[in-house]
Structure 1
Amino acid sequence: IGDTADLHVLGATTVEPPFGLFDWYLKPHLYSPDFPERDDAWADRIAARADFPLYFIDDETAVRVRDGKVDVVSEGRWQLHP
Structure 2
Amino acid sequence: MNLVELAPSVVFVAAGGYMYSRPMSVRSFVSPRKWKESPEEAAQLQRVLAKAVGFALVGGGVLWFVIALAFG
TM-score (norm 2): 0.26
- Rg comparison, structure with higher value: 2
Kindly indicate which of the two structures has a greater share of residues assigned to strand.
1
